[in-house]
Amino acid sequence: MDHNINSRKFIAIASVAWACHFVSLWGGFVFDDSEAIVKNKDIFLYTPASSAFYNDFWGSNISLNSSHKSYRPLTILSFRNVTTMAACLCVLPFLPASNLFFKVGFVIAERTLLLPSAGFSLMVAVGLEKLKDRYGSLKKIFSFFYILLIITFILRCIIRNYEWLNEERLFKSALEVCPLNAKVHYNIAKVEADQGNKLIAIEKYRHALKLYPDYEQAMNNLANILREDGDLKEAEILLKKAVQVRPNFAAAWMNLGIVLSGKSRFEEAEEAYRTALKYRTRYADAHYNLGNLLLDLGRHQEALESWKEATKVRPTHSAAWANALALLDSDGRAAEAVELGLKALRYIPRAPAIHFALGNALGKLNRFLEAEAHFLQAIKINDNNALYYSNLGVLYHRWEKTKKASEMYLRALKIDPHLRSAQNNLKKLESFLLSSANAQAKKRLNL
């Protein structure tokens, strides 16, 4: 409703403004405008620039009685120097992007390249006007080619906009322009990796490194893919070279720590993680992975502190919260786990892993009703996790709600038929129910 009212107001205001100015669309110059704008010789380059300081706005000597005494030399010079301004717009903004004086990033270079295009457009307009003035008989031909140029640029802009619809089209179009640019191959590799095309991504990363052997970011990303595929040897070589090329490359140090940890070289892995944190202290993933390593080494309190540090840096780091909660729960510190879990939910209220961990901790504290609520919330957010159903079954089992417990175990096994904990708990429950039924039958017989 409000939107329609605003639209009507906008249309009304626009209509009134258009009506006010409509009569001026076909208006001409007043009697002295032509002298000032068209016939003032001071705006032409063949007249000395100093004459603008001796003449009035109409080009007459300001000392004459016939002069209007309107003194605007800077305005005249701005018209006069339009060609110079166009040339400056073409050249001067391009200098920072050229890296002649100092190195700049591509973002700055892209922005500064917008101004030279404005200078080029101005130069074309000025040049066209001069050609039409000099060769008046060819005005129509010049106008035709000018319109053709504009149409060409419009079509090229449409094509370029199509290429910008997504990253893949953009980077592949760049490949046609500069096939020997390592950054282009790197960008294509990233897109392919995100789409799950690992083989193409590996090929493109290798091609980028062939073109630029010291491309540390390509080494890091290629190493991550190789690590995921189990090739820890080459991944380690690439990451060590990456940190050799750029010693403060925190992400590469962290990934090197993951690789070394996978090779059970824990001391070297810890050193790599701490080096990553040396260069980038507020690095949530490095704190998280260091915590995982410390847990494997049995240093539980240090692991907990690392995960807590990760959540301080990035409060939405659900994996760090979940690991901290699981550790507290397994160490018999259920009350602390509940306190920490409720804190985590302030930042990530829809994280199923946090609700699941809270359900486990509350269950151990015999706070069954609260535990059930968190288990159900975890299942509501992610209803395809067998462990959530299985542990809710354990809660019902302990709560002596055997029918619901059986239902949860069966639903867990429907999702994952090989879930050992659900299989064992269901057998225990069935055995318990069978023994209870037998005991009741014997009791009735004795009566």
* This prediction's pTM: 0.71
Q: Which residue has the higher pLDDT, 114 or 447?
A: 114
- Residue 123 resides in a domain: yes
Which residues, 6+ apart, have CB-to-CB distance to 337 below 8 Å? 325, 328, 329, 357, 358, 360, 361
Phi and psi (nearest 5°) for 127?
-60, -40
Pick from 118, 134, 161: which residue ends a domain?
Answer: 161
What is the 3 state secondary structure string of the chain?
CHHHHHHHHHHHHHHHHHHHHHCCCCCCCCCCHHHHHCCCHHHCCCCCHHHHHCECCCCCECCCCCCCCCCCHHHHHHHHCHHHHHHHHHHCCHHHHCCCCCCCCHHHHHHHCHHHHHHHHHHHHHHHHHHHHHCHHHHHHHHHHHHHHHHHHHHHHHHHHHHCCCHHHHHHHHHHHCCCCHHHHHHHHHHHHHCCCHHHHHHHHHHHHHHCCCCHHHHHHHHHHHHHCCCHHHHHHHHHHHHHHCCCCHHHHHHHHHHHHHCCCHHHHHHHHHHHHHHCCCCHHHHHHHHHHHHHCCCHHHHHHHHHHHHHHCCCCHHHHHHHHHHHHHCCCHHHHHHHHHHHHHHCCCCHHHHHHHHHHHHHCCCHHHHHHHHHHHHHHCCCCHHHHHHHHHHHHHCCCHHHHHHHHHHHHHHCCCCHHHHHHHHHHHHHHHHHHHHHHHHHHHC
Average pLDDT, the chain: 87
387, 406 in Cβ contact below 8 A?
A: no
278 within 8 A of 309, measured Cβ to Cβ: no
Block residue for tokens 């962290």 = 254
Encode pLDDT of 132-144 as tens digits: 888 878 888 988 9
**Within a domain: residue 27?**
no
In a domain, 291, yes or no: yes
Residue 399 has pLDDT above 70, yes or no: yes
- Output the pLDDT for position 107: 62
Question: Domain holding 308: CATH number?
Answer: 1.25.40.10
70 or 417: which leads in pLDDT: 417
More confident: 49 or 406: 406
Q: Which two tokens stand for residue 149?
A: 């140029």
> What is the structure's pLDDT at 442?
67
CA distance 323 to 80: 72
Is the pLDDT assigned to residue 408 strictly greater than 80? yes
Domain that holds residue 108: 33-161
Q: Which two tokens stand for residue 136?
A: 């008046």
| Contact status, residue 363 vs residue 394, Cβ threshold 8 Å | yes
- Kindly tell me the burial class for residue 427, based on how many C-beta atoms sit within 10 Å of its own C-beta (0-12, 13-18, 19 or more): exposed
Give the Å distances, CA to CA, from 93 to 90, 98, 114, 153, 420: 7, 9, 8, 22, 68
Residue 167: inside a domain: no
Per-residue pLDDT reduced to its tens digit, 31-44: 556 666 666 777 76
Least confident piece of the model among 49-63, 136-150, 237-251, 314-328: 49-63
pLDDT at 25: 65
pLDDT at 443 exceeding the cut of 90 = no
Name residue, tokens 């504009």.
Answer: 150
Q: Report the C-alpha gap between 346 and 354 in whole angstroms.
A: 11
pLDDT of residue 360: 96
Last residue of a domain, one of 161, 185, 208: 161
**Better-predicted residue by pLDDT, 54 or 233:** 233
Question: Using CA atoms, how far apart are residues 246 and 106, in angstroms rounded to an integer?
Answer: 19
Quote the pLDDT of residue 106.
64
Q: How many domains does the chain have?
A: 2
Quick: pLDDT tens for 353-396: 999 999 999 999 999 999 999 999 999 999 999 999 999 999 99
- What Rg, from alpha-carbon coordinates, does the chain have? 37
Residue of higher predicted confidence among 378 and 166: 378
Q: How confident is the model over 274-309, as pLDDT tens digits?
A: 999 999 999 999 999 999 999 999 999 999 999 999
Q: Provide the pLDDT for residue 159.
A: 87
Range with the poorest average pLDDT among 27-31, 184-188, 340-344: 27-31
For residue 1, pLDDT over 50 is answered with: no
Out of 128, 161, 194, a domain closes at 161
